[in-house]
Structure 1
Amino acid sequence: MYKIKEKIGFTLSFSIFMFIMYLITTVVAGALVYFCFAIGILTEDYTEKAIISVVIILIVCIVFGVLFSTLSSKSMLKAIDKFIKATNRLSHGDFSARLDFQSPPNFKILAENFNNMAEELGGIEVLRTDFINNFSHEFKTPIISIKGFAEILKYDDLSKEERDEYLDIIIEESKRLTSLATNVLNLSKVETQNILKDTQRFNIGEQIRQSILILDSKFQSKNILLDINVEDCYINGNKEMLNQVWLNLLENTIKFNKFNGIVSINVKKEEENIVVAIADSGIGIDKEAVNKVFDKFYQEDTSHATKGNGLGLTIVKKIISLHRGSIECESVVSEGTSFKITLPTEL
């Protein structure tokens, strides 16, 4: 509806502009004819000079029309020139290029769309740079660690305990690299997917209960108390993808929780949606960082002391979006973090 109004507005503006041009030209022509009659150049009986006078009037009208068209189109050509220069800046990587057209209305819309596009491209460029920097750091760090400890293992004077310790570190760093590669592949897979495939109807409550059982030993390792209230709810979706969501969120409740902490898991149906709430009593997230938790490679712990590569929640959000759902995060430092996922039962 909005696009139709835009087209009608542009057509109407152009029609009015052309009408005014024709009207002015006609008025000038009529005034010249009247002037010729007034001074006696044209009379009803004096037709010998009529052809010459008409030709003169036509030439004057053409000249006037050309001048008027040139002057009236000057501002339009100037606006187009600005647009060309701005697109050239954008094509050369200058995402600060902006347009400021206030009239005509369609040029104002063009400027707003261009500015939005430039802003989006600038944001993508920042994300791309951050992705490269963070990926390089996450990939390089374990490789350096593996290389260093592998070189130390060549020494013959190491005790069995030291050798085992260094081997354990190499194994952990290898697992870290494997996890990074897997998450990057998973992220690449879901980011290039716009249409959800391989959907089926299944019990999402049962799937979450199974995920809890899979991670039971990890919950017990930190003596975490589980508060589970999971209803049987059926949904149409990609079972494998949603399983990644629950495992990722539940693992985070373990990783960032305290010993003897609490994790609450609630699943219920609300009208045509299924609402999943997962909360922990862990370390929490700073208020300013809550909006960044879904960004690629973002980790609030800049020292990277906490295991992880900052891709899990990015994948989670993309999977939820593919299911036409939403995910919200709330957190208080030292009190805990909660995630609320809303999914439609039918796609």
Structure 2
Amino acid sequence: MSKLSTRLFNRISLPFYFSISIFFIFLITVVITGLLFYLAQVFGLLNEEIAQDGIVLPVVILMACTIIGTTISAITSKKMLKSIRMFIEATDRLAGGDFSMRLLLKSPPEFKILSENFNRMAEELGGIEILRSDFVNNFSHEFKTPIVSIKGFAEILKHDDLPKEERDEYLDIIIEESARLASLASNVLELSKIETQMILTNKQRFNVGEQLRQCVLLLAAKLEKKNLSIKVNVQDDHISGNKELINQVWLNLLDNAIKFTPENGIIEVGMKRNEDTIDILFRDNGSGISAEALPRIFDKFYQQDTSHSTAGNGLGLAIVSKIIHLHAGTIVCDSKPLQGTSFIISIPIGL
């Protein structure tokens, strides 16, 4: 059945269902009333005077039809009212926070569609609630840890007999943790801004190849610090988008590659033009990502390193994913433990 036929069927099915129901109620009412009057005549309960009376007989028939019709209507509507009560109860439970509630209404077709839509809504709300809970828990952890660290080392620095070397070491830790807090606040605000952005603004056409080369130069100091080699194979090509947001994507991915690549490792940045898109590749020969962690790398605050010993707050890839999807693009990660990680970003040439 085509989509148009299905849509047309769904539109007429409920009115048709009610029309058939009313028709059968009238039919059954007439049949039962006729049968009762026939039996009354057979058993002599209906004499000729009543049968020939122009007022009494119609009144008796009307009363009989009303009583019988009302009874049949009450019985047949009980099932439909039961479905409506089930829906009301389900919405009450859903409003109360029970996202496990599901409906299994089968007929009429509209009720089945209503049931499916309700179940999908409950599932989505349940997922959002889990994400919200995880976000609050993870944010609390990421926010509390540096504050506790800063407070502890600040208390130690109050001691006058502390050697200068230790004092400098603790001050460096406080500075590092303060920078981590500032980065966390900045990333949360940036992610919040991007998530609420439905339409891409400040679009312009720019040279993405030149932008990639500039990002490599910006992080040259980090590359030299770990003695990393980088192979850049990009050409001058233009795309349309938000230049500032796209720049964040390249910096995040390149910074991640530097962070997780061991000393003397190799990082590769590549570029390929297709008919309607441009593919950008970031590849490293670092520690890689486990199969269990791979599906969650774009989740907010998720970090494969549960000890949080690696610098970061788990928001970088979430921001990258949001920006890429805002540009109608795609991002794919391919990684295996101890075999490195590859990110391939595909962005439309024109938006």
TMscore range, shorter length: over 0.9
Displacement, 1:184? 0.5
**Worse-superposed segment, 227-236 or 327-336:** 227-236
Asked if the contact 2:281–2:342 (Cα under 8 Å) also holds between the matched residues in 1, the reply is yes
Residue among 10, 14, 31 paired with 1:10: 14
1:181 lines up with 2:185 in the alignment = yes
CA distance in 2, matches of 1:140, 1:250: 28
CA distance in 2, matches of 1:8, 1:227: 63
In structure 2, the CA distance between the partners of 1:329 and 1:12, relative to structure 1 (3 Å rule), is farther
Aligned-pair Cα RMSD in Å: 2.3
CA distance in 2, matches of 1:63, 1:257: 84
Displacement, 1:35? 6.9
Aligned residue in 2 for 1:236? 240
Aligned residue in 2 for 1:20? 24
Displacement, 1:21? 2.9
Asked if the contact 1:266–1:278 (Cα under 8 Å) also holds between the matched residues in 2, the reply is yes
In structure 2, the CA distance between the partners of 1:228 and 1:22, relative to structure 1 (3 Å rule), is farther
Aligned residue in 2 for 1:163? 167
2:165 aligned partner, one-letter code? E
Residue among 253, 270, 273 paired with 1:269: 273
SS of residue paired to 1:308: coil
Aligned residue in 2 for 1:293? 297
In structure 2, the CA distance between the partners of 1:185 and 1:225, relative to structure 1 (3 Å rule), is same
Displacement, 1:31? 5.4
CA distance in 1, matches of 2:207, 2:10: 47
Aligned residue in 1 for 2:197? 193
If the length of structure 1 is used for normalisation, what is the TM-score? 0.92
Cα deviation, 1:204-229, whole Å, max 9, x if unaligned, reads: 22211211111112122222222222
CA distance in 2, matches of 1:304, 1:292: 16
Cα deviation, 1:6-65, whole Å, max 9, x if unaligned, reads: 32333333333333333434444565677788889699x997324322222222222221
Residue among 51, 55, 76 paired with 1:51: 55
What percent identity do the matched residue pairs reach? 57
Asked if the contact 2:50–2:57 (Cα under 8 Å) also holds between the matched residues in 1, the reply is no
User: Map of 1:93-242 to 2, 5 A cutoff?
Assistant: 93-242=97-246
CA distance in 1, matches of 2:54, 2:41: 10
Cα deviation, 1:56-112, whole Å, max 9, x if unaligned, reads: 222222222111111111111111111111111111111111112122222121111
Specify every segment of 5 or more residues in structure 2 that has no aligned partner in the other structure, as ranges.
none
SS of residue paired to 1:228: strand
Aligned residue in 2 for 1:303? 307
CA distance in 2, matches of 1:257, 1:338: 12
Cα deviation, 1:122-144, whole Å, max 9, x if unaligned, reads: 11111111111111111111111
1:282 lines up with 2:283 in the alignment = no
SS of residue paired to 1:334: coil
User: Map of 1:31-70 to 2, 5 A cutoff?
Assistant: 48-70=52-74
Asked if the contact 2:232–2:268 (Cα under 8 Å) also holds between the matched residues in 1, the reply is yes
CA distance in 2, matches of 1:221, 1:167: 22
1:275 aligned partner, one-letter code? D
1:159 aligned partner, one-letter code? P
1:300 aligned partner, one-letter code? Q
**Worse-superposed segment, 162-171 or 32-41:** 32-41
Aligned residue in 2 for 1:333? 337
If the length of structure 2 is used for normalisation, what is the TM-score? 0.91
Specify every segment of 5 or more residues in structure 1 that has no aligned partner in the other structure, as ranges.
none
1:346 lines up with 2:350 in the alignment = yes
Asked if the contact 1:265–1:278 (Cα under 8 Å) also holds between the matched residues in 2, the reply is yes
CA distance in 2, matches of 1:26, 1:212: 87
Residue among 249, 253, 259 paired with 1:255: 259
In structure 2, the CA distance between the partners of 1:53 and 1:121, relative to structure 1 (3 Å rule), is same
CA distance in 1, matches of 2:268, 2:75: 72
